Structure 1
Amino acid sequence: MPSKLLLTGATGFIGGTVLHQLLNTSDPGIKSLSITAVVRKPADADRLAKEGLQTVLVNGLDDDEALEQAASKHDIVVNVATGFHATSTKSLIRGLGKRREQTGKDVYYLHLSGTTCVSVPATRESPFELRAFSDRDEDIYEYELLREAYEPYAQRTAEVAAIETGELCQVKTYIVMPPTVYGRGTGFFRTQSHQIPTLIRNALKTGYAEHVETGVARLGHVHVEDLARLYALLVSKVVEGASIVSGRHGYYFADTGYHLWSEVTSEIGKVGHELGVLKSPMPRAISLEDAAHKFADGDVKYAEACFASNSHTRTEKAYDLGWRPVNTESDFVNSIRITVEDVLKEQEQNA
Structure 2
Amino acid sequence: MSGKTPIFLTGATGYIGGSVLIRLLEHPSAETFDITVLVRSAEKAKILETQFGVKAVVGTHQDLDKIESLVENAHVVFHLPDPDDVALINAILRGMRKRHAQLGDLPILIHTSGTGTLADDARGLYISDTIYDDLNVEQIKSIRPNAQHRAVDVLIAEADAEGYVRTYIVLPALIYGIATHALVRAGVSNAHSIQIPALIRAALDRKQAGMVGQGKALWPDVHIDDIADLYITVFDIAVRDPNAAGHGWNGFYFGESGGHTWYQISKAIGHVLVGRGISNDPEPTPFTTEELVKYFGKEKDAFGTWGSNSRARGRRARAIGWKPKHTTAEDMLTNVPPEVEAWLKHQK
In structure 1, the partner of 2:8 is 6
Letter in structure 1 aligned against 2:198: T
Aligned equivalents of 1:249, 1:175: Cα separation in 2: 9
Unaligned runs of 5+ in 2: none
The root-mean-square deviation of aligned C-alpha atoms, in Å, is 1.9
In structure 2, the partner of 1:337 is 337
8 Å CA contact 2:212–2:287 kept in 1: the answer is: yes
Sequence identity percentage? 30
CA pair 95-245 structure 1, distance change in 2 beyond 3 A: same
Aligned equivalents of 1:86, 1:269: Cα separation in 2: 39
1:212-231 equivalence runs, <5 A: 212-231=212-231
Aligned equivalents of 1:136, 1:113: Cα separation in 2: 16
Deviates more, 1:158-167 or 1:176-185: 158-167
State yes or no: 1:282 paired with 2:283. Answer: yes
Aligned equivalents of 2:318, 2:124: Cα separation in 1: 34
Unaligned runs of 5+ in 1: none
State yes or no: 1:176 paired with 2:177. Answer: no
CA pair 208-181 structure 1, distance change in 2 beyond 3 A: same
How many matched pairs?
335
8 Å CA contact 2:119–2:305 kept in 1: the answer is: no
State yes or no: 1:257 paired with 2:251. Answer: no
Could you give the per-residue CA deviations for residues 40-82 of structure 1, whole angstroms, max 9, x where no partner exists?
A: 1212211211221111222x22222111111011011111122
In structure 1, the partner of 2:322 is 323
In structure 2, the partner of 1:97 is 97
1:1-351 equivalence runs, <5 A: 1=1, 3-26=5-28, 28=29, 30-50=30-50, 51-58=52-59, 60-123=60-123, 131-144=130-143, 147-148=144-145, 152-168=146-162, 170-185=164-179, 186=181, 187-188=183-184, 189-241=189-241, 243-287=244-288, 289-290=289-290, 292-298=292-298, 300-329=299-328, 330-348=330-348
Aligned equivalents of 2:113, 2:209: Cα separation in 1: 28
8 Å CA contact 2:124–2:307 kept in 1: the answer is: no
Aligned equivalents of 1:278, 1:92: Cα separation in 2: 48
Kindly state the Cα deviation for residue 130 of structure 1 after the two structures are TM-superposed: 5.0
Aligned equivalents of 1:169, 1:294: Cα separation in 2: 46
Could you give the per-residue CA deviations for residues 185-208 of structure 1, whole angstroms, max 9, x where no partner exists?
A: 234321010000111011111101
Q: Under a length normalisation based on structure 2, what TM-score does the superposition of the two structures give?
A: 0.91
Letter in structure 1 aligned against 2:72: S
Kindly state the Cα deviation for residue 324 of structure 1 after the two structures are TM-superposed: 1.0
Q: Under a length normalisation based on structure 1, what TM-score does the superposition of the two structures give?
A: 0.90
SS state at 2:57 partner:
strand
SS state at 1:184 partner:
coil
8 Å CA contact 2:124–2:212 kept in 1: the answer is: no
SS state at 1:35 partner:
strand
CA pair 295-155 structure 1, distance change in 2 beyond 3 A: farther
SS state at 1:106 partner:
coil
Letter in structure 1 aligned against 2:261: L
Aligned equivalents of 1:227, 1:313: Cα separation in 2: 14
CA pair 47-233 structure 1, distance change in 2 beyond 3 A: same
Kindly state the Cα deviation for residue 9 of structure 1 after the two structures are TM-superposed: 0.6
Could you give the per-residue CA deviations for residues 295-344 of structure 1, whole angstroms, max 9, x where no partner exists?
A: 3222x333222111112211111111111111232321110011111111
Moved over 4 A (4+): none
8 Å CA contact 1:80–1:112 kept in 2: the answer is: yes
